[in-house]
Amino acid sequence: MAAETPVAPVRGGIRGEGPSRRRFALRPRRLVKGAVVTVGVAAFLVFALFPFYWMFIVSLKSNQDIINLKDNPFLIQQFTLSHYEFLLTQTDFLRWILNSTIVAVVACGGSVIISIFAGYSLARVRYRGAGAIGWGIFVTYLVPPTLLFIPMTVIMDQFHLVDNLLALMLSYPTFLIPFSTWLLMGYFRGIPKELEDAAMVDGCTRFQAMLRIAIPLAVPGIISASIFAFTLSWNEYLYALSFISSVGTQTVPLGVPSDLIRDDAYFWGDLMAAALLGSVPVAILYSFFVDRFAGGLTAGAVKG
């Protein structure tokens, strides 16, 4: 009698059920998950980009097309570049762009440099009252500018800085430095202290260790603080309204509504063209440093 050939057991308990079948069973779940993620991302992109699309199409419509309620408002019926022509030739918009750039670069640069030293000292150097100073800086950032612009106006008037861009360069750091210091303080705390200790054992001073070790490792956090500081300076309106009066020294957030809104008349085409062009410098800044910006925010949130 011939010996029976043993049958190898089938993985899964039932013949025909193997890894390929299980993968096929999981495929609908992956498809559903991918579809949900795709729909969510698409909805977010529509929500985030729609204001720019609206500014773009309104800036290219004629005045009759803008107030026309019969046709589709999301399409351009009568194309024109007259709003951009008026903005660039009949107003001081280019001067406002230059003023905003000067103020934002100076205020941002000075604030970030001061914040680097302040944040590093609060994160690394042990001295009496360091914790209280850190919390004091954070609380200072929470004070709304609406409570400060009146005394700040008095101070600027005493120093004869009213209607001068220097007034904005000196007042903007009052809210830029606390925010940037708090952000960088949390980032410096996440850098291993042993790296700086090893550098000081090799002969570096504390200042050299900060310049050669801590600051290069904190570049993503510094870029994040710089972008935030530049954006806040570029979009600031209240201090500019309080300190600046003449057209030649106005910034974009102040000059656009002052010159393009007269009494109860809103020149929507010109306003949208100015808003679109005014957002270009910030958009370019974000596009160049978006990777480091996101990395700095993530690292600062995790390490802080």
What is the predicted pLDDT for the residue at 300?
44
- Is there a domain that residue 7 lies in? no
Angstrom distance (rounded) from CA 132 to CA 140:
12
> For residue 190, what are the CA distances in angstroms to 20, 121, 132, 300, 301?
45, 14, 20, 8, 10
Note the pLDDT of residue 14. Answer: 47
pLDDT at 23: 54
Same domain, 40 and 143: no
Asked if residue 76 belongs to a domain, the reply is no
Question: Does residue 9 belong to any structural domain of this protein?
Answer: no
**pLDDT 10s digits, 235-254:** 999 999 989 988 889 999 99
Sign of the C-alpha dihedral computed for residues 102, 105, 111 and 117 taken in this order: negative
Report if residue 132 sits inside a domain: yes
Count of domains for the chain: 2
**In this structure, are 151 and 225 located in the same domain?**
yes
Residues 97 and 62 in one domain: no
Identify whether residues 146 and 290 lie together within a single domain.
Answer: yes
> Domain check: are 254 and 140 in the same one?
yes
Q: Is residue 202 part of a domain?
A: yes
Please indicate, yes or no, whether residues 174 and 250 belong to a single structural domain of this protein.
yes
CA 233-235-239 angle, 5° bins: 70
- Report residues of the chain scoring pLDDT below 50: 1, 10-16, 296, 299-304
* 129 & 25 share domain: no
CATH number at residue 126: 1.10.3720.10
Confirm whether 2 is domain-assigned.
Answer: no
What is the span of the domain harbouring residue 52? Answer: 19-66
Residues 51 and 160 in one domain: no
Q: Quick one: 187 and 38 in the same domain?
A: no
Residue 55 resides in a domain: yes
Domain boundary (66, 101, 125) is at: 66
What is the model's pLDDT at position 304?
43
- Give, in degrees to the nearest 5, the angle at Cα 281 between 243 and 161: 15
Tell me: do 23 and 152 sit in the same domain.
Answer: no
pLDDT, residue 293, reads: 56
Answer yes or no: do 101 and 54 share one domain. no
Helices (H) and strands (E) in the chain, counts: 15, 2
- Of 31, 66, 101, at which residue does a domain stop? 66
Cβ-contact 167, 161 below 8 angstroms: yes
Instruction: Please tell me whether residues 156 and 209 are part of one structural domain.
Output: yes
| Within-domain flag for 80 | no
pTM: 0.78
Contact 138, 182 (CB under 8 A): yes
